[in-house]
Amino acid sequence: MKTIKRMMDHLYWADGRILDALEASETKNKDLLKLVRHVAVAEQVWLSRLQGESSSQYSLWEEAEELTPIRMMFEENAEQYRLYIERLEESGLEQMIDYANQSGVPFRTSVRDILMQVLLHGQYHRGQINRLLRMESAEPVQVDYITFARL
């Protein structure tokens, strides 16, 4: 549990750093904004499943025009994940969650594996976002776990 909590703290930190880098770049690149919005919405999707709710209302790949509403999504995600993790006991990590993906296909996955998906999915896309920032001649931001751990 300690490791997952620490990794979630890294996720909140890394999400914030990416948002700050995007803000500093003043990008209007729709693909870049769409990708960062995707990360925020995916976090919401998985949280709703962890909470036993449907995720069918979420659209993972919508266009985004502005960074401010995306930042608000990330802030709300962090708050809700913190509350969820605070109540989660070690034994709860093995609980199986039944849910349907965005196409309606049913799945059953452990809480541990869902949280690992959230953690790894975000890191994957933050790398893509940094690459796109560099392609726009903007400054990418360090989001590696070791950078967070050294703070």
**Rounded average pLDDT over 46-75:** 96
pLDDT bracket for residue 35 (50, 70, 90): very high
Angstrom distance (rounded) from CA 111 to CA 125: 21
pLDDT bracket for residue 93 (50, 70, 90): very high
**pLDDT value of residue 111:** 98
**pLDDT value of residue 42:** 98
> What does pLDDT average to over the chain?
96
139 three-class SS: coil
**To the nearest whole percent, how much of the chain has pLDDT over 90?**
95
Q: Give the chain's domains with CATH numbers.
A: 2-149 (1.20.120.450)
State the pTM of this model.
0.94
- Tokens 């990416």 identify what position? 18
Query: Counting every residue, how long is the chain?
Result: 151
- Per-residue model confidence as pLDDT tens digits over 95-134: 999 999 999 999 999 999 999 999 999 999 999 999 999 9
Helices (H), the chain: 2-25, 30-50, 68-87, 111-135, 145-149
